[in-house]
Amino acid sequence: MTSANTLPFVRVKQINSQVLQLDFNVNWGMDDLSPLIAAVLAKLSAKTLEVRQGADRYCLRIQCHEFQLLLNFEEYSHSCWLECVTEQDSAAMAKIKQLLSS
């Protein structure tokens, strides 16, 4: 599908001060998340701290520099978004948007 060096983003949209929506130019399902996750983590130089998986939802708590974020995937709506863990983490959102958009 994609490699960690090729970002499959069509758009990175800031929804509010704590949420970035990621739209991909590839179709994906729950079985296809590994390359998408690898691409996001590589671009942000982030690491995974925790993973939670449900029937149609996959959530990673990630460390990006000194900030913690949730990287969420929802299969039914084909939605992906980055969300701040705490209000203090919102200071990173503009920089993260810039990193993902470049």
What length is written for the chain?
102
Q: Is the pLDDT of residue 4 over 50?
A: no
- Per-residue pLDDT of 50-102, as tens digits, reads 999 988 899 999 999 999 999 999 999 999 999 999 999 998 899 999 999 88
> Structure tokens of 20?
């970035």
Longest dimension (CA), the chain: 35
User: 32: pLDDT confidence band, cut at 50, 70 and 90?
Assistant: confident
Q: In what order do the strands lie in the sheet with 67-74?
A: 9-16, 19-24, 79-84, 67-74, 57-64, 47-53
Lowest mean pLDDT among 5-19, 26-40, 42-56, 65-79: 5-19
Band (pLDDT 50/70/90 cuts) for residue 7 is low
- Pick from 18, 26, 77, 15: which is nearest to 34 by CA? 26
Question: Can you give 34-59 as a three-state secondary structure string?
Answer: HHHHHHHHHHHCCEEEEEEECCCEEE
Judged against a pLDDT cut of 90, whether residue 8 lies above it is answered with no
Sorted by where each starts, the structural domains of the chain and their CATH numbers stand as 9-101 (3.30.160)
